[in-house]
Structure 1
Amino acid sequence: MKKIGVLTSGGDSPGMNAAIRAVVRAAIYNDLKVVGIKRGYEGLINGDIENMSLSSVADIIHRGGTMLRTARSEDFKTEKGFSKALNVINIFGIDGIVVIGGDGSFRGAEKLSQAGISTIGLPGTIDNDLAYTDYTIGFDTAINTVLNAISNIRDTSTSHGRANIIEVMGRHCGDIALYAGLAGGAESIIVPEEEFSIDEICKRLIQGRNRGKLHSIILLAEGVVKNSYEVASEIEEKTGIETKLTILGHIQRGGSPTAFDRILASRMAGKAVELILDNKSSRVIGIKGNEIIDMDISEALTIEKKLNQDIYRLAKVLSI
């Protein structure tokens, strides 16, 4: 193993730069050459590759986004595109690749591994939707971004005596809504894993108003309903409480990563380089009980992600 590449793919997440930095510096420390592959698998196909040095990753640990840029590549899924990617890997003499991204990125890494390329995956996604690991890189920052929004919205909501629905990311996984809702004291948390009742939500709002509560916060994961504005309108009609909707959108992807995400990204990246030096391939890095672990990519992708029912029940108990 003489030269490795590092790429970020799919949706960006805070902490990706910290992971890139750690991969590059740990590799150089161990006398490996490193190249940065820009724009994910699309950049791999097109040979958008540059040599990385210690100075290449200076002053990025605190920055959101990814210095290598990112993209989704439909071409990589085709036989022609994949063949071009393999040719580029051969031309540049790349012996292994560290892939930072979500499940789609991991499937690309799995495909490269099956073609004989050493690959290690780091879980970079704000959704926390990879079941094999307790946390993904960027999740902690995303929920803190939502918490800041909850605090700001609560101020104006209290002034007007309103209810507020805050729509957060998580089309198939409700972890952002769940964790931010618990930490932010939301009255109701609506996630894709659990059925919800508008009438039950309305009952909570009315009970809160009757005991003098001046505001109400409802966390809603995107994709649970087709039109969040309709949910707000129905709640307002049934309760008589003015109900506003705030869609946070891609603000959740940006911002300086928290200390937790910077440390997590650095630990995972260091482990990735260790595995590469041991000639390991087709592995993904995760964290379980504060211990950094690794697992076969194929096995990791088959584990079903489930909502933490203990936290979900606790959030309900505390929101009475």
Structure 2
Amino acid sequence: MIKKIGVLTSGGDAPGMNAAVAGVIRAANAKGIEVYGIRDGYKGLINGWFEKVDIDFAQEILTRGGTRLGSARLPEFKEESVRQIGVDNLKKAGIEALVVCGGDGSYMGAQRLTEMGINCVGLPGTIDNDIVSSDYTIGFDTALNTIIEAIDRIRDTMQSHNRAAVVEVMGNHCGDLALYAGTTTGCEVISTSESKLTEEEICEQVKVLAKKGKRSVIVLVTENLYDSNALAKKVEEKSGYVTRATILGHTQRGGIPTGMDRYLAVTSAIYAVDQLAAGKGGVYVGLDGNKLVARDINSTLNMPRKDKSQELSTIRLLNSQFKK
């Protein structure tokens, strides 16, 4: 049985990461395993920023947003010589295995460390929901609810003044935040990375709604597709609506995690500790339906993303319906 494990958070922060760390501590403690928190992700690994964490620490961070351990990007970690420094630091501290909470890039680092003799298990921590081998990721539900609340507020003022709004949300190359938020708030126009509309198509759709007399229109777009402020000006010119852009930005990452994100984080963490205690590494814990599964990291990194274009087409059609 292993005696010491480490836990780190890597990549962009996500609500529920603290709950995942707390879950690791509690599950390991129940098995008599010591846990060491590693500050600032892989950067802390190569700098030896380790500290023993206990049940009191777990209780303190369980409900908090962000990541108490911190996170930092380290592109150099792809180099074996850099990773070797981290491996040497772990061995010197007697840390035999790691739980890594983060996204695809974090998983690749975990796989490489496993190949170098340090068993690692990954937890899917990212608001984007872009880890294709897990139905949902830690942080997605909280971010989604933050977006929904923002859109509901924006709708109130757009409706009051007969205006349109362009709302930009995160998602990287995954449109799930936009799809789910657009579905649940009735956004009339939705454009995602997987199903991108041209600026002309967006303007034409808003123009049609304006001619029908719709009092408010929300155009919801995934980040990095357009210059949202410039798009708002084009929508205004073509449709006649006074139009403003709202870029939600990092508000989507912060905040107290929802119950569902906490539940996913804690149960995934317990499952991860079980994997390490059984001597397994190079796997990630994902949600498949309502069941947690452990899959080989290498085999999942290049899994094709589920095609949701038909679902998005249906929502676009339903949300654009309006009769004066």
Q: Shorter-chain TM-score category?
A: over 0.9
Q: Measure, in 2, the Cα distance between the counterparts of 1:282 and 1:220.
A: 35
Q: Distance in 2 between matches of 1:149 and 1:195?
A: 22
Between the aligned partners of 1:47 and 1:274, the Cα distance in structure 2 is 25
Provide the aligned length of Structure 1 versus Structure 2.
319
Counterpart CA distance in 1 for 2:240 and 2:281 is: 59
Asked if structure 2 preserves the Cα contact closer than 8 Å seen for 1:102 and 1:124, the reply is: yes
Q: Aligned AA for 1:220? A: V
Asked if the contact 1:76/1:85 (under 8 Å) is kept, the reply is: no
CA distance, structure 2, for counterparts of residue 197 and residue 17 of structure 1: 39
Report Cα offsets for 1:260-296 as digits up to 9, x if no partner. 1011111111110111111111100010111111100
Aligned equivalents of 1:78, 1:53: Cα separation in 2: 32
Alignment gaps of 5+ in structure 2: none
Hey, what does 2:57 align to over in structure 1? Answer: 56
Give the Cα separation in 2 of the matches to 1:22 and 1:91. Answer: 25
The 1-side partners of 2:62 and 2:51 are apart by 19
SS in 2 for 1:193: coil
CA distance in 1, matches of 2:84, 2:207: 61
Q: Which residue of 2 aligns with 1:167?
A: 168
User: Residues of 2 paired with 1:207 and 1:196: CA distance?
Assistant: 15
Give 1:210 deviation, angstroms: 3.7
Equivalent-residue separation in structure 2 for 1:80 and 1:278 (angstroms) = 29
1:304 to partner: Cα distance:
2.2
2-side partners of 1:194 and 1:166: how far apart? 16
**Cross-structure match for 1:185:** 186
The answer on 1:6 being equivalent to 2:4 is no
Q: Shift of the alpha carbon at 1:197?
A: 3.3
- Tell me what 1:269 maps to: 269
Identity over aligned residues, as a percent?
A: 46
Match of 1:32 in 2: 33
Supply the distance in 1 between the matched residues of 2:294 and 2:200 (Cα, whole angstroms). Answer: 44
Unpaired stretches in structure 1, ≥5 consecutive residues: none
2:186 alignment partner AA: G
Give the conservation status (yes or no) of the 8 Å contact 2:25–2:58.
yes
- Look up the match of 2:201: 200
CA deviation string 1:218-267 (max 9, x = no partner) = 11101112x22221111111111111100010110000111110111111
What amino acid does structure 1 have at the position aligned with 2:293?
Answer: I
Given the two structures, how large is their TM-score scaled by the length of structure 2?
0.95
Aligned to 2:210: 209
Whole-Å separation in 2 of the counterparts to 1:79 and 1:291: 35
Show the counterpart of 2:71.
Answer: 70
Correspondence for 2:119: 118
Amino acid at match of 2:93: F
CA RMSD between the two structures: 1.3
